[in-house]
Amino acid sequence: MKQKYLKVNNTKIYCEIYGKGTPLILLHGGMGLDSSYFKVPGILDLAKRGIQVILYDQRGHGKSQETDSKDYTHRVWIKDLKRLAKKLGLKKFNLLGHSYGGWLALEYAVKRPKELDRLILVDTHAGPVDTSDIPKYKNQAEMNKRSKEKWPQAFFSKNKHWSIFKRIKHNYKPFNAAYHRETENYDVRDKLKNIDAKTLVICGEADTFFLERSQKFVKEIPNAHLEVITKCKHFPFIEMPEDFVNIIVKFLQHR
């Protein structure tokens, strides 16, 4: 594993690179969570199967630089991704977005369709977003408390993977900016036909909210298919790691 701090779009971005082979950049969800929840066998074992796994903390998250909240926008986060890929020497790359990271991945794909080789969307949807029951946090303590309460609901099994939760670094500022400003205009359903990249949509069978939406939007992407993984909910790469890895490898390495 290689650790790097890269100057990207006038911001210091923390990045970790595992293995060699087909490059796959991952966009973590949240927002307000860092990429540490990706550091599990269901993701890192891809590096043993000929895939170069590229994780990074998005602006305002984890070990990456915090900036003014006005910069926590879809436009800026997507621009950061573009510049990061360029810094890594990737003219065309594979992209995986999980949850909120999938929203950013979809926006990237519809705005820059020629720059992606393959697109992977995990437990996400194409919009719109209902934020009526999403809190706006006054401080970090509020977010930490709420996140701890919500975490068990993301899993199908009795194992709630608390060791993973404990290593996540939360930040309420990008969370507030994302859910109480940016998602207001998020809806790419009418643009999905513009996606050129071969696309894989993955969803946990028990993640019914996202599964229902995935079943609809996958039909609007020209070259896409849906894989449903049983016995898991919002984090299939945590609950069913072997199934997840096998599906990704088959998708990326089959030409």
Per-residue pLDDT tens for 97-152? Answer: 999 999 999 999 999 989 999 999 999 999 999 999 999 999 999 999 999 999 99
Per the CB < 8 A criterion, the answer to whether 230 and 2 are in contact is no
pLDDT at 144: 98
Instruction: Give the dihedral of Cα atoms 44, 48, 50, 55; nearest 10 deg.
Output: 20
Structure confidence at residue 255 (pLDDT): 63
CB-count burial class (<10 Å; 0-12, 13-18, 19+) for 162? exposed
Whole-number average pLDDT of the chain:
97
- The answer to whether 9 and 83 have CB atoms below 8 angstroms apart is yes
Report the distance separating Cα 204 and Cα 227, nearest Å: 9
| Dihedral (CA of 55, 48, 234, 24) sign | positive
Helix/strand number for the chain, H first, E second: 9, 8
Q: Hey, what domains does the chain have and what are their CATH numbers?
A: 2-253 (3.40.50.1820)
Q: Whole-angstrom Cα distance, residue 53 to residue 25?
A: 6
Length of the chain equals 255
Largest Cα–Cα distance of the chain, in whole Å? 49
**What is the model's pLDDT at position 148?**
98
In terms of Cβ atoms closer than 10 Å to its own Cβ (0-12, 13-18, 19+), residue 212 is exposed
The β-bridge partners of 12 are 7
Collect all residues with Cβ–Cβ distance below 8 Å to 10 and sequence separation of at least 6.
none
Q: How far apart are CA 205 and CA 173, in angstroms?
A: 31
Report pLDDT for 57.
98
CB atoms within 10 A of CB 3: 9
pLDDT of residue 43: 98
d(CA 218, CA 236): 18
Please check whether residue 46 is in contact with residue 249, taking contact to mean a CB–CB distance below 8 angstroms.
yes
Check residue 69 and give its pLDDT.
96
**Contact indicator for 59, 128 with CB cutoff of 8 Å:** no
Listed as ranges, residues in the chain with pLDDT below 50 are none
